[in-house]
Chains A and B, each alone.
Chain A
Amino acid sequence: MGKNMSKPDKLRVKSGPEYPAKGEARRGRPEKKPPLAPVYRRLRGYAFDPSLSVQLDTAIINENVYKVKWENDDDNGGEGLMPGPVGEYLEVVDYDPASGCFYGPVDLNDPNLLAQDGLPPSEGNPQYHQQMVYAVAMTTIHNFERALGRPALWAPRDKGNGGDYVQRLRIYPHALREANAYYSPHKKALLFGYFPASSDRPGRFMPGGMVFTCLSHDIVAHETTHALLDGMHRRFIEASHQDSLAFHEAFADIVALFQHFSFPDALRHQIGRTRGDLSSPNLLGELAQQFGEAVGNYGALRSAIGQFNPATGKWEPHQPDPDEYQTTTEPHARGAILVAAVFEAFLAIYKRRIADLMRIASSGTGALPEGELHPDLVNRLASEASKSAQHVLNACIRALDYCPPVDINFGDYLRAIVTADTDLVPDDDLGYRVAFVEAFRRRGIYPRDIRALSVESLRWSLPRESETFFEPLGNWLRGIAGEFEYLVRRREIFEKTEIICGKLHKWIEDEGHYALQNLRQDTGITFEYNLEGLRGEKEVNKIPKFEVHSLRPAHRVGPDGNALNQLIISLIQSRKLKLDPTAPEERSNMMLFRGGCTLILDLDAMRVRYAIKKDIADKMRLDIHRRYRSGLALEGSLQNTYFRNIDKGVGEPLALLHRSYDYGRP
């Protein structure tokens, strides 16, 4: 991520006027051609949530115009954006079961709405709520696609063996009557709740006034991110390590936070108010203001920079504590450590980028003149802040491609960020990567298996020995790699991927495993029956069962013009083992232990660049896993005692996560 990064990454996403519809281009009579479809649909929404609109100070900045990708008729199988809104990615269905009624769908293509950027913000109009969730969710999806350079896919509907394509994420803006909102992996749906504000400490609200979680940018972005992350990494929802659920939460918060910096009015306002110092209390670094206060907190639900201390009655900045990572276990609190680390990296980058501006503005003294900042300076600072935020967000999202497919921890994520960034931006002249490493180090987040905490050693290592071992795989893939280039429709991509995964699985089973077994050390999975609890029967299956978990292309162009053309494959294997090895083999004492790898293949050179593994035979990891799982039981909630079988089998992991620990923390 160098300073030239403002150039957007090359996109494979079809959008806007660069891609005129085929029919029109062929006709060749430009003067008769109807005007091109717009690039964006402009939709009004709250920049934060409704609570800021009732304060004089923030009312003017709280209305943001979300510029949402215009959904072409052509993109959508000839349908365009339909009432609901129902588009290519999302379908909003407004059913309120607690009130026993439905709310009619908003038609954003109504000329009256097109002419005024959608409905004006209103808490009392459910159609506006539909517009708001659509706008925020689409913005979040867009950020993902931009960073990853490919269309976003939702997790398939799991049917045991493979899964069905799910085109649209379902959104229910008024599904629950409680202070909660969650992503349901079973329904591929976001469920938002509403509830009356706490009457104990009403703060800015009318006691008992309704609070709608679907009107909070932060909550909608957070839940949409859960769904997007699940679409990429389905196994991250499994609690296999103290960090796994915390990572899901933290990542969702990171996306919500950095999207704040794309609201120009709010950004300028807050920069002005804090005189450019974003580490002082400000709205940009806080999440879910209204929700936090409505459930009885003293301020925002979570903050990346500091919090109100009820003991002293004062706002206090977060102090990084190297022990924190060792001692905090509750997923949200643990996630907050990761969020704070990433935010600190952002602040360091931002400070570095504005150092020259500050010198100019303070005539080299470092002390800005009294009074308000010059609007030009505010604009420049805002532009640097927004750029830094976008870079950090992009780096965080891109790193997902460099994560192991199972059992992620924060250390792995740091390595993924560093590696992804090194690949794309070889020349780190602004020290972005060092900023990340330092912020993580200050919180005691270290990967377990590296010798030194430097950018160089954090980068995932290249496969041992030589990549020639992977030649058979490379040769096999050469045939199919090109096919992705021409796919644009999400369904086609999904179906093609399924077919190729199936073929790859068969190829490995039939012949590839001879070569791959030599690479056990790199792939982290085994092709021989040499470990306890492997699945498959020796007589029927030549090799133990494994899964070609995902396969996705990544095409990206860095700021220096270097292009990445990669194929990312992940393989997963599971072992069914006893939780307590000394206890009998009972259902309640069994657990799944997974291992696997993410292989990153360079499609141009046809070689493996990285093999990011979680070894299925790793005894130390198994120990940690066991300790975590039994600890989970030890610290268990009542929920665990009585609803155990339900949680395990068919429950909503995120719904319960949000409930059982702390009330209504989306």
Chain B
Amino acid sequence: MLKREVRVRMYKQGLGDCFLLTFPRESRPFHLLVDCGALNSRHYDSELMREVVQDIAEVTGGRIDALVATHEHWDHISGFHSSQAQELFDDIKVERVWVAWTEDPDSEDARELKKEFGKHKIAVQMAINRLPDDVMEGGLLGHYRKAITELFGFFGGLGAAGDSKTSAAWEYLLGKGPNLYCDPKNRPFELKGVEGIRVYVLGPPADISMIRKLLSSKETYHGAEPNFARFESFLNAVAPDCDPLDNRLNFPFEARYRIAQEEAKQTPFFMERYGFDAGAEEEWRRIDSDWLSVAGELALHLDSYTNNTCLAFAIELIESGKVLLFPGDAQVGNWLSWGDLFWKVKDADGKTQRVTINDLLARTVFYKVGHHGSHNATLRAHGLEKMESPDLVAMIPVHRKTAKDQDWEFPFPPLYKRLKERSRGRVLLADFKSIQEIAKEAQKYLSPDEWEAFTEATKFEELYIEHSIPY
């Protein structure tokens, strides 16, 4: 008789996601790898990533049954890039690659989204290139450039358009095995040869308007749906091929009104009032790059956009009813769309049940916290507050030193606090050294028996933290 127990291993490869789930199976265990990536940081290097992948290779015996690539962000897939651990993955066989339906080349919606995304990504890169690149000399805008660039770290940095490192890693992993396009409209499916397990696809939403819903409903105003269209004229202005003749309509006024920079520099009015030299008296009031600051907003949009197309799923351990929730980095729009879903499935006794997201949340015993614990990737009222299980354990894939370097609040303190309350102290951060870091607080919530059970099911190693859930 197999020991019915799923093992969740959170690797410590840096600020990024890499989870290995292992299910018991008659022949050999079923290995499910969810993402493998880390943001670049001064605190670790690709050597760490190679150690992690080496461990994966050993544990799985060089065979991963399902590789889940939640979304195309560097911190989730960098391990597949040639600069990191690609050569190790070359020797690992992948049976199936699960990706979101938005990757399906046969879907028209998916193609449209991809096109829109690519265009805006290029625009942000062009805009950033025009911002002052020196933090000291560039002042505010120099800082701004730095911040956007860091943000773009998620996209694998700013390579030339279209061939960024992230795309390269993504292409590689898609080619690792036959792709399974996960769509919330489809019925929950089982893992090949594994008994008593069911996988529910939650997102990305099948309705692309939900994906475009970039901010929470609270923040949007009636009638004025935010969309990319309003960036149009900005995009045209930063576009590299901005030929004045072709783009006459991009200019607000006819050519006869326009005074070119060179000419203005010789005009007394502009020399005196605007002042072109560095250090000139009027320098502090110049606005050469202020208009580009909208690029930051656009970059944020792109970021949420990708997070909204993120593959989110839940694993149900049928007999015990327990649920493991992996939302990827899904943001508000993605989470909210789950509320419209329901599935008809057979329960342990063979009776047909109607399952909604609320049922799944109420039974969630393991939660992979979204987006490293940022404030907007865990829904409060319709998410965390509905996770009512007294056995809830949460894992946050985070590297706090790296986050701190960027002044990012990962994990977001109020969320972290609430998570600890909901999980009764059992929140595991990937950069924890030992269980002692939570012992004091968790023991306040848990009975001695519960604490003992928890410590027994949890293992701290140099490369990972592991937690096992019986079912």
* Chain A residue at minimal CB-CB distance from B274: A93
- B115 an interface residue at 8 Å Cβ cutoff? no
A208 CA to B250 CA, complexed, in Å:
10
Complex contact A177–B273 (CB within 8 A): no
A96 CA to B151 CA, complexed, in Å:
28
Q: Which of B213-259 contact A (CB under 8 A)?
A: 215, 218-226, 229-234, 237, 249-254, 257-259
A84 CA to B270 CA, complexed, in Å:
10
Q: Which of B172-224 contact A (CB under 8 A)?
A: 215, 218-224
**Residue from A101, A179, A650, A655 within 8 A of B139 (CB atoms):** A650
Complex contact A83–B230 (CB within 8 A): no
Residues of B within 8 A of A583 (CB): 413
Chain A 647-666 near chain B by CB (<8 Å), digits 1 or 0: 00111100100011111110
- A310 an interface residue at 8 Å Cβ cutoff? yes
Contact-residue bracket for chain B: 35 or more
* Chain B residue at minimal CB-CB distance from A82: B269
Known A99-B252, A174-B252; judge A643-B234 contact (CB<8 A). Answer: no
**Residue from A97, A103, A650 within 8 A of B253 (CB atoms):** A103
Complex contact B230–A295 (CB within 8 A): yes
Complex contact B408–A187 (CB within 8 A): no
**Residue from B219, B257, B263, B414 within 8 A of A637 (CB atoms):** B219
Chain A 612-651 near chain B by CB (<8 Å), digits 1 or 0: 0000000000000000001001111111111111100111
Residues of B within 8 A of A365 (CB): none
Interface size on A, residues (CB 8 A): 83
Residues of B within 8 A of A665 (CB): 221
- B345 an interface residue at 8 Å Cβ cutoff? no
Expressed in whole angstroms, the minimum distance between the Cβ of A446 and any Cβ of chain B is 26
Residues of A within 8 A of B462 (CB): none
Complex contact B285–A198 (CB within 8 A): no
Expressed in whole angstroms, the minimum distance between the Cβ of A537 and any Cβ of chain B is 29
Q: Which of A185-214 contact B (CB under 8 A)?
A: 186-189, 191, 193-196, 198-200, 208, 210, 212
Known A157-B284, A175-B291, A642-B151; judge A636-B375 contact (CB<8 A). Answer: yes
Expressed in whole angstroms, the minimum distance between the Cβ of A333 and any Cβ of chain B is 8
Among B13-21, B294-302, B359-367, the stretch that binds chain A is: B294-302
Complex contact A97–B289 (CB within 8 A): yes
Among B102-110, B140-148, B333-341, B445-453, the stretch that binds chain A is: B140-148
Complex contact A99–B258 (CB within 8 A): yes
Complex contact B409–A641 (CB within 8 A): yes
**Residue from B224, B300, B412 within 8 A of A662 (CB atoms):** B224
Expressed in whole angstroms, the minimum distance between the Cβ of B335 and any Cβ of chain A is 15
Residues of A within 8 A of B291 (CB): 97-98, 175-178, 193
A661 CA to B258 CA, complexed, in Å:
34
Residues of B within 8 A of A198 (CB): 229-230
Residues of A within 8 A of B287 (CB): 95, 97, 172, 175, 187, 189, 191
A177 CA to B123 CA, complexed, in Å:
14
- A588 an interface residue at 8 Å Cβ cutoff? yes
A174 CA to B264 CA, complexed, in Å:
16
User: Which B residues are within 8 Å of any A CB, using their own CB?
Assistant: 139-140, 143-144, 147, 150-151, 215, 218-226, 229-234, 237, 249-254, 257-261, 263-264, 267, 269-270, 273-274, 284-291, 293-294, 296-297, 300, 303-304, 374-376, 406-409, 412-414
Pull 21 A–B residue pairs with CB atoms less than 8 Å apart, ordered by A.
A93-B274, A95-B264, A125-B257, A174-B252, A178-B233, A191-B287, A208-B249, A295-B224, A634-B375, A635-B218, A637-B376, A639-B296, A639-B297, A641-B375, A642-B300, A643-B144, A644-B408, A646-B143, A650-B143, A659-B297, A662-B220
